[in-house]
Amino acid sequence: MRAAKQAMNLISQPLLVTALMLAVSNLFMTFAWYGHLKNLASSPWYVAALISWGIALFEYLIQVPANRIGYTELSLGQLKILQEIITLSVFVPFAILYMNQPLKWDYIYAALCMTGAVYFIFRT
């Protein structure tokens, strides 16, 4: 019974549900877009494309409902900026930890620019 009550509390928080679902979907999409560069580098491009499309299917199965839930509380612009913040938040650890890329100041500068975007899009 307690788990059902907690689930209902989560459902009553559409912004939180949207952000969590978009984070999960973005993790799938980041692997679809870039994971093949590490894992399938020796495979033909069409093999990588087919595998990426398969991964992207799971991303869309999470992302589409997330956007529908989010759109009940957010404007279209706010929903897009939220997605971009999540994209950067998922991409940077992916690039550093999974793809073994160095941490660059450019990531910090991009995050600062996104902070400005959040301010302007959410201030109304």
How distant, in Å, are the alpha carbons of 29, 48, 78, 90, 109 from that of 34?
Answer: 8, 10, 26, 12, 22
Amino acid 78: pLDDT: 94
pLDDT band at residue 5 using 50, 70 and 90 as cut-offs: low
For the chain, the straight-line distance linking the first and the last C-alpha, in angstroms and rounded, comes to 39
Question: pLDDT tens digits for 45-92?
Answer: 999 999 999 999 999 999 999 999 999 999 999 999 999 999 999 999
Question: Residue ranges per domain, the chain?
Answer: 2-122
Report residue 18 as tokens: 């949207």
- At residue 123, the pLDDT reads 85
The three-state secondary structure class of 31 is: helix
**Mean predicted lDDT score pLDDT of the chain:** 91
The pTM of the whole model exceeds 0.85: no
Cα distance between residue 123 and residue 111, in whole Å = 18
